[in-house]
């Protein structure tokens, strides 16, 4: 930018002011110096132009950029907050679902354990009853066998005692008859 035309305009303004001052008039009586006033007006205009061109516009642009950046940051913060709330809600829903699933699994496990317990108790009871029945049958068989052996032993003893007492030999028919009578008496 060329300052020369501005300086030339300022000189012209100063000359015009000098000419008006020499004319005097009402302005002269008020104590206004036209040369000085015009020079200050030109200086003010130049400074205002310079400030406007190289200071106010860049500062205004920087402020506008800063304002836009702040708006974007606020918008991003709002988006992040909204996403965080959605994520928190989703996490709470997943936790609730996981708790429900865990409770369902636990209830199933408890029911299965109860079922297994009852089944085991029933099996144990059945096996116990079966073992008791087998033991009873075995006891009766052993008892019958013992009685049978005892009868035979008693019969043999009876025959021996009878032979000793009688010291005579009996025939087989009489022997058998005596054994049967002895067995009948034992029963």
Q: Per residue in 6-62, pLDDT tens?
A: 777 777 877 776 665 555 555 554 667 778 888 999 999 999 998 888 888 888 899
Residues 6/39, Cβ–Cβ less than 8 Å: no
Domain spans of the chain, in order of start: 144-186
- Which residues does 21 contact at the CB level (< 8 Å), separation at least 6? 27, 28, 33, 34, 35
- Which residues does 9 contact at the CB level (< 8 Å), separation at least 6? 42
Which of 154, 158, 177, 156 shows the shortest CA–CA distance to 166?
A: 158
Reduce the DSSP state of residue 73 to 3 states and report it. helix
Q: Can you state the percent helix, strand and coil of the chain, rounding each to 5? A: 95, 0, 5
d(CA 103, CA 115): 18
Averaged pLDDT, 95-122: 93
d(CA 38, CA 11): 9
pLDDT reported for residue 187:
62
- List, for residues 67-104, the tens digit of each pLDDT value: 999 999 999 999 999 999 999 999 999 999 999 999 99
């Amino acid at each position: 930018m060329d300052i020369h035309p501005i300086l030339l305009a300022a000189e012209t303004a100063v000359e015009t002011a000098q000419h008006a001052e020499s004319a005097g008039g009402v302005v002269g009586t008020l104590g206004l110096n036209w040369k000085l006033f015009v020079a200050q007006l030109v200086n003010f205009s130049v400074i205002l132009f310079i400030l406007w061109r190289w200071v106010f516009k860049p500062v205004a642009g920087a402020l506008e950029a800063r304002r836009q950046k702040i708006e974007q940051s606020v918008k991003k913060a709002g988006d992040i907050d909204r996403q965080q709330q959605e994520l928190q809600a989703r996490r709470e829903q997943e936790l609730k679902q996981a708790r429900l699933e865990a409770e369902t699994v636990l209830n199933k496990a408890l029911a299965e354990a109860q079922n297994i317990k009852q089944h085991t108790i029933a099996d144990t009871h059945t096996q116990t009853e079966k073992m008791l029945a087998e033991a009873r049958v075995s006891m009766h068989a052993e008892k019958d066998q013992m009685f049978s052996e005892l009868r035979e032993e008693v019969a043999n003893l009876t025959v021996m005692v009878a032979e000793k007492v009688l010291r005579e030999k009996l025939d087989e028919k009489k022997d058998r008859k005596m054994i049967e009578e002895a067995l009948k008496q034992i029963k």
